[in-house]
Amino acid sequence: MDSIGVAVIGGGMAGRAHAAAYRMASTVYGGDLPPIRLVAIADLDAELAADVARRYGYSRSESDWRTIAEAPDVDAVSVVVSNALHREIVEALLSAGKHVLCEKPLADTLENAQAMLAAANRSPHVAAVGFTFRRAPAIAAIAEYVAKGGIGRPFHASARYWCDYAVSSAAPMSWRFSGPIGSGALADLGSHLIDALEQALGDITAVRGAFCSTVITERRLPQGRVRGHEFAELSDKTARVENEDFAHFTALFGSQTSGVFSVSRVATGLPNTLAFEIFGEEGAVAFDFTRPGEFWITSSTPADPDARWQRVIVGPRHPYVDRGLPMDAAGVHYGQNDLFAWQARAFLEQISGRSTLPPVPDFRTGLHNMHVIDAIAHSAHRAGSEVSVVGI
């Protein structure tokens, strides 16, 4: 390709991360990409779209996503809008001959996700889903370490993704609080956590012991539009919160390992905390995204009782760091915005046929993730009984 024209549909918090990522993508991992043209930002909020386009150097803004689908100068599009809109937009983009990077979760329902996979299978273009934590150097390094036998046979894991964006009852009603059990904290946070642990332990095959709860059952409607997790002026009208504020479950992996998971959007005082430990016969590993530039390992066993936890500082010998940062040296840490840049780079490499990074997960992976969430919801409805994850 002579060049790749990119656009982002959605100007909210995650949309801005995608917009900035495309701007950064050609600056990392060498100069072997075709020129990247920053074409357009689209959002129903025309003022927001114009502001994001100006801030990140895009040529124009649009208030209707359909203009992106029809635009001859757009080759690749990030879809970063509410989950219920994914199917219509993605199918139209693929039909129009665009490459698509859709934010996780793939859709709002299994039916819509299955239809999106079918559309992707009919298209010759790249159709990818954004699980950005796969690009975290520490998480990728842990997956490699476990795969190479660093902890021996994995026994069990503990994983959690706790946030507090919904802890206040003054947070306005938005699309995040609508939909069936499974579409709340599980879809928003659990989708990332499930995918991250599967990188080290293989696919989840069944879940059991699931429990979901909604602790703030009603929220006031906003006077206008809500942007991301922002607060807004509230009206006197209220609406019922339909999905879960937090959930707990046990996952069974194909590797015969089990894991205890917890996700919450009402974890007071924890704005963005993904963390896990994996314990094995010959050692263990641990990670906490509040300290993203490090992870911990131990080889403590009965045969080596004096071994202790060791901190590993992320550096150029770990995935994504070498040439992925302007200052790619040990001890110079990365942040979540860098993960978006590395994801965008991998997506653009796939489009151009010059892949050097692991590819962005496809829609089949996105559908599997939704099958896991669906199994968790069914387990919760059945008093925690074991539910198998449907194969694809």
Asked if residue 273 and residue 187 are part of one domain, the reply reads: yes
Asked if residue 141 and residue 112 are part of one domain, the reply reads: no
Asked if residue 83 and residue 158 are part of one domain, the reply reads: no
Question: In which band, very low, low, confident or very high, does the pLDDT at 30 lie, cut at 50, 70 and 90?
Answer: confident
Q: How many domains does the chain fold into? A: 2
How much is the pLDDT for 385?
97
Asked if residue 107 and residue 15 are part of one domain, the reply reads: yes
Structural domain includes residue 106: yes
Query: What interhelical angle do 86-95 and 110-122 show, nearest 10?
Result: 10
Say if residue 128's pLDDT is above 90: yes
Last residue of a domain, one of 132, 148, 174: 132
| CATH code for position 46 | 3.40.50.720
Asked if residue 244 and residue 166 are part of one domain, the reply reads: yes
Say if residue 31's pLDDT is above 80: no
Asked if residue 241 and residue 156 are part of one domain, the reply reads: yes
Q: Which domain holds residue 49?
A: 4-132
Say if residue 351's pLDDT is above 70: yes
Asked if residue 73 and residue 116 are part of one domain, the reply reads: yes
Question: In which band, very low, low, confident or very high, does the pLDDT at 125 lie, cut at 50, 70 and 90?
Answer: very high
How much is the pLDDT for 60?
98
Q: How many CA atoms lie within 13 A of 202 on its CB side?
A: 14
How much is the pLDDT for 256?
85
More confident residue, 291 or 233: 291
Say if residue 228's pLDDT is above 70: no
Say if residue 332's pLDDT is above 90: no
User: Among 5-9, 82-86, 184-188, 228-232, whose mean pLDDT is lowest?
Assistant: 228-232
Say if residue 50's pLDDT is above 70: yes
Work out the average pLDDT over 56-81. 98
| CATH code for position 312 | 3.30.360.10
The model's pTM: 0.95
How much is the pLDDT for 300?
74
Asked if residue 328 and residue 185 are part of one domain, the reply reads: yes
The first and second tokens of residue 111, run together, are 């039916």
Structural domain includes residue 392: no
Work out the average pLDDT over 51-66. 98
Structural domain includes residue 247: yes
Question: In which band, very low, low, confident or very high, does the pLDDT at 318 lie, cut at 50, 70 and 90?
Answer: very high
Asked if residue 209 and residue 323 are part of one domain, the reply reads: yes
Asked if residue 145 and residue 116 are part of one domain, the reply reads: no
The first and second tokens of residue 392, run together, are 């694809």
Say if residue 5's pLDDT is above 90: yes
- Whole-number average pLDDT of the chain: 95
Asked if residue 206 and residue 123 are part of one domain, the reply reads: no
Question: In which band, very low, low, confident or very high, does the pLDDT at 261 lie, cut at 50, 70 and 90?
Answer: very high
Closest CA to 142 of 280, 252, 249, 250: 280
Structural domain includes residue 363: no
More confident residue, 67 or 331: 67
